[in-house]
A and B are shown apart, each in its own frame.
Chain A
Amino acid sequence: MQSITTFFQTLIDGVLIGGVYAVISIGLSLVFGVMHIVNFAHAEFLMLGMFIAWFAWAYAGIDPMLGAFIALIITFFIGMGMQRVLIKPIIGAPQVAQIFLTVGLLFAMENGALLLFGADFRSVSTSYQTQALTLFSGESGRILVPLDKLYAFLMALLSGASLWFFLNRTSWGRAMRATSQDPMAAKLMGINTDKMYMIAFGLGVGTTAFGGAVILPYITASPTVGSQFVVLMFTAVVLGGLGSVAGAVVGGIMVGLIQSFSALILPIQLQNLTLFVIFILVLALKPEGLTARRRS
Chain B
Amino acid sequence: MKRSKLSTSVAALTRRSVLATGAAALAMPALTGRGFAQEAVNVGVIVPLSGANAQFGINSRNGIQLVADEINANGGIKSMGGAQINLVIADATSNPTQAATVAQRMMSQDNVVAVLGAFASSLTLAISEVTERRGVPLLTMSFSDQITDRGFQNVFQIVSPGSQIGAATFDFTRALAQEAGQTLEKIAIMYEDTAYGTSQSAGLRKAAQDAGIEVVMDEAYPLGITDVSPLINQLRRSDAQVVFPVSYLNDSLLIVRSMRQQGINIPTIGGAAGYIIPDFREGLGDLADNVLSISPAAYDQAPDYTERFREKFGYFMVHEAQEHAACMGCLHSALEAAGSADHAAIREQLQNSVFDQGWATVMSGGKVEFDEMGRNIHASPLMVQWRGGELVTVYPKEYATGEVVWNS
Same assembly: yes
Q: Is A219 an interface residue (CB 8 A)?
A: yes
Contact of B224 among A9, A228, A271 (CB under 8 A): A228
Judge whether B365 is part of the interface by a CB distance below 8 angstroms: no
Residues of A within 8 A of B49 (CB): 119
Q: Which residues of A contact B221 (CB under 8 A)?
A: 268-269
Confirm or deny: B314 has a beta carbon within 8 angstroms of a beta carbon on chain A.
no
* Contacting residues, chain A, for B250 (C-beta < 8 A): 121, 219-220, 222
Q: Which of B52, B226, B257, B285 has the most CB of A within 10 A?
A: B226
Q: In the assembled complex, which residues on chain B have CB atoms less than 8 Å from the CB atom of A264?
A: 230
Q: Once bound together, how far apart are the Cα atoms of A259 and B287, in whole Å?
A: 28
Q: Mark A228-266, 1 if CB is under 8 A from B, else 0.
A: 110010000000000000000000000000011001100
* Interface 9-residue window, one of B162-170, B258-266, B322-330: B258-266
Assess whether A130 is in contact with B257, with CB atoms less than 8 Å apart. Answer: yes
Which of A6, A120, A147, A259 has the most C-beta atoms of chain B within 10 angstroms of its own C-beta?
A: A120
Residues of B near A260 (CB, < 8 A) are 227, 229-230
What is the minimal beta-carbon distance from B288 to any residue of chain A, in angstroms?
A: 10
Residues of A within 8 A of B220 (CB): 267-269
B274-288, CB under 8 A of A: which get 1 and which 0? 000001001111010
Instruction: With a 10 A CB-CB cut-off, give which of B49, B230, B250 has the most chain A CB atoms.
Output: B230
Do B226 and A13 have beta carbons less than 8 Å apart?
Answer: no
A268 touches B230 (CB 8 A): yes
In the complex the two chains form, is A220's CB within 8 Å of B193's CB?
no
A287 interface residue (CB < 8 Å to B): no
The distance from the CB of A119 to the nearest CB of chain B, in whole angstroms, is: 3
Report B-chain residues with C-beta under 8 Å of the C-beta of A131. 261
B51 within 8 A of A: yes
Structural contact, A125 and B226, CB atoms closer than 8 A: no
Residues of B contacting A: mostly: helix
Contact with A along B207-241 (1 / 0, CB 8 A): 00000000000011110111101110100110000
**Minimum distance in angstroms from A247 CB to a CB of chain B:** 21
Complex: how many Å from CA A96 to CA B275?
Answer: 44
For the complex formed, measure the closest distance between the CB of B354 and the CB atoms of chain A, giving whole angstroms: 37
Task: Say yes or no: A121-B279 contact (C-beta < 8 A), given A268-B219, A268-B220.
Answer: yes
Of the candidates A10, A111, A147, A149, the one whose C-beta lies within 8 Å of that of B50 is A111
Q: In chain A, what residue has the closest Cβ to B49?
A: A119
Interchain CB contact under 8 A, B55 and A129: no
The reply to whether A130 and B253 contact each other, CB–CB distance below 8 Å, is: no
Asked if A114 and B50 sit within 8 Å, CB to CB, the answer is yes
Which listed residue (A17, A125, A132) contacts B261, Cβ 8 A?
A: A132
Q: Within B241-259, which residues are at the interface with A (CB < 8 Å)?
A: 249-250, 253-254, 257-258
B residues near A129, Cβ cutoff 8 Å:
257, 261
Q: Find out whether the CB atom of A222 lies under 8 angstroms from the CB atom of B52.
A: yes
Within 8 A of B (CB), among A1-18: 6, 9-10, 13, 17
Q: Is B345 an interface residue (CB 8 A)?
A: no
Name the contact of A125 in the complex, choosing from B57, B227, B279, B285 (C-beta under 8 A). B285
Would you call B229 and A121 a contact (CB within 8 A)? no
List residues of chain A with CB within 8 A of the CB of B282.
123
* Contact partners of B231 in chain A: CB under 8 A: 263, 268
Tell whether B405 is near chain A: CB-to-CB under 8 Å: no
Q: Is B89 an interface residue, CB under 8 A from the partner?
A: no
Residue A92 is within 8 A (CB to CB) of chain B in the complex: no
CB distance from A190 to the nearest CB of B (A): 45
A229–B227 alpha-carbon span in the complex (Å): 12
Cβ-defined contact, A146 with B50, below 8 A = no
Select one of A114, A144, A218, A219 contacting B54, CB under 8 A.
Answer: A114
B-chain residues with CB within 8 Å of residue A148 when the two chains form the complex: 261
Would you call A224 an interface residue if the criterion is a C-beta within 8 Å of the partner chain's C-beta atoms? yes
Pairwise interchain contact A229-B261, C-beta atoms closer than 8 A: no
On whether the beta carbons of B50 and A17 are closer than 8 Å, the reply is no
CA distance A119 to B262 in the complex (A): 30
Q: Which residues of B contact A102 (CB under 8 A)?
A: none
Contact with B along A29-64 (1 / 0, CB 8 A): 000000000000000000000000000000000000
Does B195 count as interface, using CB distance less than 8 angstroms?
no
Shortest CB-to-CB span from A229 to chain B, Å, is 7
Question: Does B90 sit at the interface, judged by CB under 8 A?
Answer: no
Return the CB mask of A197-221 against B: 1 if under 8 Å, else 0: 0000000000000000000001110
B279 x A120 contact (CB < 8 A): yes
B112 to chain A, nearest CB (A): 24
Shortest 3 CB-CB distances between A and B: which pairs?
Answer: A119-B54, A263-B230, A123-B283
Which chain B residues have a beta carbon within 8 Å of chain A's beta carbons? 49-52, 54-55, 57-58, 193, 219-222, 224-227, 229-231, 233, 236-237, 249-250, 253-254, 257-258, 260-263, 279, 282-285, 287
Chain A interface (Cβ within 8 Å of chain B)? 6, 9-10, 13, 17, 111, 114, 119-121, 123, 125, 129-132, 141-142, 144, 146-149, 218-220, 222-224, 227-229, 232, 259-260, 263-264, 267-269, 271-272
Supply 26 A–B pairs (Cβ within 8 Å), ascending by A. A10-B230, A111-B50, A114-B54, A119-B54, A119-B57, A121-B253, A121-B279, A123-B283, A125-B284, A125-B285, A129-B257, A129-B261, A130-B257, A130-B287, A132-B261, A141-B236, A141-B237, A142-B236, A144-B261, A146-B229, A219-B254, A220-B254, A263-B230, A269-B193, A269-B220, A269-B222
